[in-house]
Structure 1
Amino acid sequence: MQAVILAAGEGNRLRPLTRSRPKAMIPVADRPIIKYVIDALLENGIRDIVVVVGYRKEHVIRYLNRLDAPIQVVVQERQLGTADALRSAEAEISGDFLLLPGDNYISPASIARIRGERNAMLVAEHRNPSNFGVVVIRDGFVQDLIEKPEDAPTFTVSTGVFSFTREIFNHLKSNELPDAIGSMIASGERIRALPAEDWQDAIYSWDLLKLNGRMLRGIPAELAGTVSSTASLRGLVRIGKGTTIGANAVIHGPVTIGEDCTIGPHTVIMPDTSIGSRVAIEPFTYVKDSLIMDDVRIGSHSRIVNAVFGEGCVLGDHTTTYPREAFFEVGGGVMKAEFGAVLGDGVKAAPFTIFKNCVVGNNVTVGDGRIVTGLIEDAARVI
């Protein structure tokens, strides 16, 4: 059986993190999201895989070329929707196939439920169904698929994972896949609705914290770096090559730390934290429930909680992220979210900065002792 993974989209609602990378390449538990999708297929014996790339395609192609798997890459020249992305791969598809988003987590057990079906979709219950395609089901079959309705009739949503025959291409009359699904149903085709075993998506940047915590629970323990004899490690902890853990540091898993990191003396790394490669965390700093990407430097005596840091952030001593609940304007609407901070790539903050429930754009500079709240645009200066 073949599989087609759609990894051409940007993920606008995850900005600023998707300004420089497609959503499928955001690292969660130190692995790009698309890697979990590919692993789920491989565990089910599916090795004929086509990946459709588009936005920032060089990031995806470079990564796929390093994998030990025969993956065919197809380019969607313009990002015109999911149906158009699938249409880009038509020449590579020879028979029945699975269609999957490259920017959602899907478990191997979920793939096993659908791989033997013809014309089926994996569905799941979600408390915010209006962010997804909402599915109306009757007698186990899809009756309707409503894309992001303002008033959702059910809490059942499409995971974006489908099993199709080549007949689907006869129904791709627009650039969006829900239209093709509606055309199939109208023509008398029956699409079975199957509950996913485990599926996770991150719609907004702060949703990455929940996804990161979920993925960390499946990491294998590994100690490839150098750990001080006075450091304390508990639970699932993965430490990459070249990383040093300083004296009296405490790490309580699940935690993953990449390669060539420096975790200073007397630091505390608490559960649900992933740290990329070449990261420096200076002494007496506390980190919990956070996703820290590559090449970040965090000054001493800092307290980082419920935070997502993009690549190359440099944060001074006594930096604090302060979780609280607040309202944000997103996609023309207002929503409530509780987290500490989301920082884009290359943010620089002077000592004693407090990030309080904020989303900070790429390459922002923050002056001494500032309290940062709300939405901060790319390249802004907070003084």
Structure 2
Amino acid sequence: MQAVILAAGEGNRLRPLTRSRPKAMIPVANRPIIEYVIHSLLENGIRDIVVVVGYRKEYVIRYLNQLDVPIQVVVQERQLGTADALRSAESEIAGDFLLLPGDNYISPTSIARIKTERNAMLYTEHPSPSNFGVVVIKNGFVEKILEKPEDAPTFTVSTGVFSFTPDIFGYLRSNEIPDAIAGMLADGEKIRAIPAEDWQDAIYSWDLLKMNARMLRDLAPATSGTVSTTASLRGRVRIGKGTTIGENTVIQGPVVIGEDCEIGPNAVIMPQTSIASRVKIEPFTYLKDSLIMDDVTVGSHSRIVSAVFGQGCILGDHTTTYPKEAFFEVGGGVTKSEFGAVLGDGVRAAPFTTFKNCVAGNNVSIEEGRVVVGLIEDNTRVI
């Protein structure tokens, strides 16, 4: 069986993190999201995989070229929606196939439930259904899909994972897959509704924290770096080669730390934290429930909780992220959230900076002693 993975989109609501990378390539638990999708397909014996790329396509292509399994790459020249992305792959499709988003996690068990079905969809329950395609199901079959309705009639949503025959291409008359589904249903075609076993999506940048925690549940512990004899590692902890864990540092898993990092001494890394490569965590700093990307420095005596830090951030000593519930306006809508900070790439913060429920754009610079709240646009200087 073939599989088509759609990885052409930007993920606008995850800005600033997607300004420089497609959503499918955001690292979660130190692996790009699309890697989890490919792994789930391989676990089901599906190796004939087509990936549709578009926005920042060079990032995806470079990653796919490093894999042991051959992947067919198709380019969507302009980002005109999911149906257009699927049309781009039509010439590569030889028969029945699975269609999957490259920026969601889907478990191997979920794929096993749908891979032998013809014209089927995986669905799940979600507390915020209006962010997705809401599905009305009757007697085990899809009755209709409502794309991001303001008033959702049900909490049942589409995961974006479908099993299709090549007949679907005759229904791709608009730019979105739900319109093709509506056409099929109008013609009397049946689409079986199958519950997913496990599925995760990150609609907003702070949702990456929940996805990170989920991915760390399956972490395989391993230590390749240098760990001080006075350091304490508890639970599932994975440490990459070239990384140094300093004296009296405490790490409570699940925690993953990449390659060539400097942690501590006297640091505390608490559960649900992923630290990428070439990261420096200076002494007496506390991290919990956070996602730290490559080449980040966090100064000494800092307290980082519920934070996502983009690549290359440099944060001075006594930096604090303070989780606080607030309303955010994103993508034309308003949503309530609680987190400490989301920092884009290259943020610079002087000592004694406090972030409270803050999204700071790429290359923001913050002077000493500031309390930063809300949305800060790219390239802003906070004085």
Give the TM-score category using the shorter length. over 0.9
Separation in 2, partners of 1:237, 1:217:
11
Amino acid at match of 1:308: V
Aligned residue for 2:215?
A: 215
Aligned residue for 2:334?
A: 334
The one-character-per-residue Cα deviations of 1:204-252 (angstroms, maximum 9, x if unpaired) are 0000000000000101101000000000000000000000000000000
Aligned residue for 1:273?
A: 273
Separation in 2, partners of 1:333, 1:24:
23
Aligned residue for 1:298?
A: 298
CA contact (8 A) 2:282 2:298 kept: yes
1:132 aligns with 2:132: yes
Aligned residue for 2:350?
A: 350
The one-character-per-residue Cα deviations of 1:118-158 (angstroms, maximum 9, x if unpaired) are 00000000000000000000000000011000000110000
1:79 aligns with 2:79: yes
The one-character-per-residue Cα deviations of 1:93-142 (angstroms, maximum 9, x if unpaired) are 00000000000000000000000000000000000000000000000000
The one-character-per-residue Cα deviations of 1:66-94 (angstroms, maximum 9, x if unpaired) are 01111000000000000000000000000
1:47 aligns with 2:47: yes
Aligned residue for 1:165?
A: 165
Aligned residue for 2:359?
A: 359
**1:226-305 equivalences in 2 (<5 Å):** 226-305=226-305
Tell me the secondary structure at the aligned position of residue 123 of structure 1: strand
Amino acid at match of 2:112: A
Separation in 2, partners of 1:238, 1:103:
24
- Give the TM-score, by structure 2 length: 1.00
Tell me the secondary structure at the aligned position of residue 157 of structure 1: strand
Tell me the secondary structure at the aligned position of residue 66 of structure 1: coil
Aligned residue for 1:191?
A: 191
CA contact (8 A) 2:12 2:331 kept: no
Separation in 1, partners of 2:61, 2:219:
25
Separation in 2, partners of 1:99, 1:333:
28
Tell me the secondary structure at the aligned position of residue 46 of structure 2: coil
Aligned residue for 1:313?
A: 313
Amino acid at match of 1:356: K
- Which runs of at least 4 in structure 1 moved beyond 4 Å after TM superposition? none
Deviation for aligned residue 1:264: 1.4
Q: How many residues align?
A: 383
Separation in 1, partners of 2:106, 2:219:
16
The one-character-per-residue Cα deviations of 1:282-312 (angstroms, maximum 9, x if unpaired) are 0000000000000000000000000000000
CA contact (8 A) 2:119 2:165 kept: yes
Tell me the secondary structure at the aligned position of residue 304 of structure 2: strand
Separation in 1, partners of 2:173, 2:329:
33
Gaps of 5+ in 1: none
Tell me the secondary structure at the aligned position of residue 38 of structure 2: helix
Tell me the secondary structure at the aligned position of residue 203 of structure 2: coil
Aligned residue for 2:31?
A: 31
1:105 aligns with 2:105: yes
Deviation for aligned residue 1:335: 1.4
Separation in 2, partners of 1:377, 1:13:
14
Please report the RMSD computed on the Cα atoms of aligned residues, expressed in angstroms: 0.4
Aligned residue for 1:69?
A: 69
Deviation for aligned residue 1:334: 1.6
Separation in 2, partners of 1:218, 1:71:
25
Aligned residue for 1:147?
A: 147
Tell me the secondary structure at the aligned position of residue 213 of structure 1: helix
Aligned residue for 2:94?
A: 94
Separation in 2, partners of 1:171, 1:329:
35
1:203 aligns with 2:169: no
The one-character-per-residue Cα deviations of 1:346-378 (angstroms, maximum 9, x if unpaired) are 000000000111000000000010000000000
Separation in 2, partners of 1:265, 1:330:
39
Separation in 2, partners of 1:5, 1:250:
40
The one-character-per-residue Cα deviations of 1:31-51 (angstroms, maximum 9, x if unpaired) are 000000000000000000000
Tell me the secondary structure at the aligned position of residue 203 of structure 1: coil
Amino acid at match of 1:294: D
CA contact (8 A) 2:260 2:279 kept: yes
Aligned residue for 1:371?
A: 371
Amino acid at match of 2:230: T
Amino acid at match of 2:362: N
Amino acid at match of 1:264: G
